[in-house]
Amino acid sequence: MLETFRALAEPNRFLIVELLLGGPRPVGDLAHRLHLRQPQVSKHLRVLSEAGLVGVRVDAQRRIYALRPGPLQELEGWLDRYRRLWEDNFQRLDAVLGKLQTDELTSHKKKRARTKR
């Protein structure tokens, strides 16, 4: 999973993965969309490929790249543990805020009752 993070940490590689979410693309299309030269994109794709994030197929003279789901599914599983942690924390925070609002409302009502006497 560390290789996945290292590969995605570089902004252009992250953008390549974002573009490939829409489906397989040839290197030339990625280079055009990223405003990079083809050799630069090929280097980024090699890193993504070594991390297992993309696969390639040859179509005549073109190399078509596509996302491979395995590393991204592994990353999702890892993130899910932290998502549950944050959801639990937010639920506790909601409970505390709800109690504070109730206490404030009760306090406000008591003050009004005293001033009416």
pLDDT value for 117: 63
- As a dihedral over the C-alpha atoms of residue 11, residue 13, residue 17, residue 19, rounded to 10 degrees, the angle is 80
Look at 110 and 12; give whichever has higher pLDDT: 12
Res. 93: pLDDT tops 90 = no
Res. 14: pLDDT tops 90 = yes
What pLDDT digit, counting tens, does each position of 40-87 carry? 999 999 999 999 999 999 988 889 999 998 888 888 888 888 887 788
Angle among Cα 22, 27, 30 to the nearest 5 degrees reads 50
Mean pLDDT of the region 12-19: 96
pTM: 0.69
The answer to whether the Cα torsion of 75, 78, 84, 87 is positive or negative is: negative
pLDDT value for 98: 86
Nearest CA to 4 out of 39, 52, 40, 42 is that of 52
* Residue 16, CA atoms < 13 Å, CB-side half-sphere: 34
Quick check: 79 and 95 in contact, CB under 8 A? no
